[in-house]
């Protein structure tokens, strides 16, 4: 996954469809969604049905800290399973109120997930452009581009159902 774009194990982008998932680590609905999202995302990527991008929305004062940690994970190794595991660890940490970069890194390392820091400014600029373009006002939100059509889906249940239809 580069800049939030998850790729299949061979490193190739997923199918013709594009899925952008907008979440915030500190949003209870987003945490609920992400805990159920992994099997659906894995299937979409495995079957090459869509490219999937996680766009971390800045809804909380510590959201950028978490987004940066996730990008550091992707910078170390681009692997979907690893990315989903890292997101689960980060979601759990946000639920516990962890607000320190060192503690986040320690939690990830305890799970065998290494990080490779880099300047995330350009990636955050891309995220901001997607947030503006897709007019994201709340999380969780999913934007699906498929067959030239754009669909915006709000809420955990509707997002899961919309992604299942792509399968």
pLDDT in tens, the chain (167 residues): 333 333 333 333 445 689 999 999 999 999 999 989 999 999 999 999 899 999 999 999 999 999 999 999 999 999 999 999 999 999 999 999 999 999 999 999 999 999 999 999 999 999 999 999 999 999 999 999 988 899 999 999 999 999 999 87
Strand partners, 143: 20, 152
Nearest to 139 by CA among 34, 23, 33: 23
Place of tokens 């939690």: 107
Dihedral angle at the C-alpha atoms of 122, 128, 130, 131, nearest 10 degrees? 160
Residue 15: per-residue pLDDT: 55
Alpha carbon separation from 48 to 20, 52, 117, 162 (Å, rounded): 15, 10, 29, 16
With contact defined as beta carbons under 8 Å apart, do 156 and 145 qualify? no
Dihedral angle at the C-alpha atoms of 32, 39, 145, 5, nearest 10 degrees? 90
pTM of the model: 0.88
């Amino acid at each position: 996954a580069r800049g939030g774009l998850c790729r299949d194990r061979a490193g190739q982008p997923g199918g013709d469809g594009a899925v952008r998932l907008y979440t915030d680590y500190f949003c209870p609905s987003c945490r609920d969604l992400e805990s159920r999202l992994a099997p659906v995302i894995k299937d979409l990527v495995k079957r090459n049905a869509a490219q999937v991008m996680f766009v971390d929305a800045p809804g909380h004062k510590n959201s950028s800290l978490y987004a940066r940690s996730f990008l550091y994970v992707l910078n170390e190794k681009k692997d979907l399973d690893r990315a989903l595991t890292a997101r689960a660890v980060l979601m759990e940490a946000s639920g516990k109120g962890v607000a320190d970069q060192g503690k986040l890194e320690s939690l990830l390392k305890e799970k065998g997930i290494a990080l490779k820091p880099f300047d995330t400014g350009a990636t955050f600029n891309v995220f901001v452009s997607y947030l503006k373009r897709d007019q994201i006002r709340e999380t969780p939100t999913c934007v699906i581009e498929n067959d030239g059509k754009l669909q915006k889906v709000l809420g955990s249940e509707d997002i899961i159902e919309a992604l299942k239809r792509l399968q």
